[in-house]
């Protein structure tokens, strides 16, 4: 959580709220929220058909500056959907922080909708480090 908070502070120091797309980023957003003291909201893929029926779960106000938190970014499609949902509720989204950028176009896709992506790690750097340590990459499961 502390590394994510530091990255948020670097790229979006005026953020008043974090947002984590369900499901993978919720634990990361919660951890960063606890470490940095910023509240967070959860962004669902779609509004649920029961309970509150909201796509955005958690308290917020229109105009809040939000920084998105994500685990892994590939094409950027999931984050772009989250940005759309947040902006539909009049939240301001300019930056996102991810743990790993797989360097498969996500950063460019987000830039096209006005969101800057900051990553803690690039996939290429992780693979280079693993290779130089004598640990060849393995095929992912699934």
- What are the structural domains of the chain? 2-132 (3.40.50.2020)
Q: Enumerate the β-bridge partners of residue 92.
A: 65
**What is the percent of the chain where pLDDT is above 70?**
92
Q: In this structure, is the dihedral angle defined by the CA atoms of residues 100, 95, 42 and 84, taken in order, positive or negative? A: negative
Q: Which residue has the higher pLDDT, 135 or 55?
A: 55
Count helices and strands (H / E) in the chain: 5, 6
The pTM score is 0.87
Q: Which residue has the higher pLDDT, 76 or 131?
A: 76
Mean pLDDT to the nearest integer, 13-28: 96
pLDDT of residue 127: 84
Task: Please determine, for residue 121, whether its predicted confidence score (pLDDT) is greater than 80.
Answer: yes
Task: Please determine, for residue 3, whether its predicted confidence score (pLDDT) is greater than 50.
Answer: yes
Task: Please determine, for residue 26, whether its predicted confidence score (pLDDT) is greater than 70.
Answer: yes
Helices 2-11 and 26-36: crossing angle in degrees, nearest 10, is 80
pLDDT of residue 129: 78
Cα separations in angstroms, 1 against 27, 70, 119, 134, 135: 9, 12, 14, 29, 27
């Amino acid at each position: 959580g502390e590394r994510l908070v530091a990255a948020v502070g670097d790229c979006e120091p005026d953020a008043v709220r974090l947002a984590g797309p369900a499901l993978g980023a919720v634990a990361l957003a919660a951890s960063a929220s606890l470490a940095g003291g910023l509240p967070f909201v959860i962004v669902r893929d779609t509004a649920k058909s029961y309970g509150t029926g909201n796509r955005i779960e958690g308290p917020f106000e229109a105009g809040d500056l939000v920084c998105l938190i994500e685990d892994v970014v590939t094409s950027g499609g999931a984050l772009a959907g989250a940005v759309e949902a947040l902006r539909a509720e009049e939240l301001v989204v300019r930056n996102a922080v991810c743990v790993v950028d797989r360097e498969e176009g996500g950063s460019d896709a987000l830039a096209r909708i006005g969101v800057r992506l900051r990553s803690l790690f690039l996939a290429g750097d992780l693979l280079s480090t693993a290779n130089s340590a004598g640990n060849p990459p393995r095929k992912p499961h699934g």
